[in-house]
Amino acid sequence: MIAIIDYDAGNLNSVENALKFIGAEAFVTRDAEKILKADKVLLPGVGAFGDAMEKLDQYGLTDVVREAAFGGKPFLGICLGMQLLFDESEETPGVKGLSILPGKIKRIPDTGLKIPHMGWNSLELAKETRLFAGLPAEPFVYFVHSYYLEAGEKADVAACTDYGVKIHAAVERGNVFGCQFHPEKSGETGLQILRNFAAL
Q: Which residues on neighbouring strands pair with residue 159, listed in sequence order?
A: 125, 170
Catalytic residue, candidates 25, 128, 182, 188: 182
Backbone angles phi, psi at 163, to 5 degrees: -150, 70
Identified catalytic residue from 16, 88, 91, 184: 184
- CA pair distance 184, 182, nearest whole angstrom: 5
**Positive or negative torsion for Cα 170, 142, 190, 50:** positive
Q: Which one of the listed residues 16, 54, 79, 138 is annotated catalytic?
A: 79
Reply yes or no on whether 160 is catalytic: no
Concerning whether 179 is annotated as a catalytic residue, the answer is no
- Distance between CA atoms of residues 16 and 27, nearest Å: 7
Would you call 79 a catalytic residue per the annotation?
yes
Q: How big is the CA angle at 110 (ends 107 and 113), to the nearest 5 degrees?
A: 110
Q: Whole-angstrom Cα distance, residue 96 to residue 193?
A: 29
Q: Angle of helix 12-21 relative to helix 187-198, nearest 10 degrees?
A: 80
First to last CA, the chain: 11
Written as one letter, the residue type at 140 is: F
Neighbours of 111 (CB within 10 A): 9
- Residue 21 sits at φ, ψ, to 5 deg, of -60, -35
Active site residues: 79, 182, 184
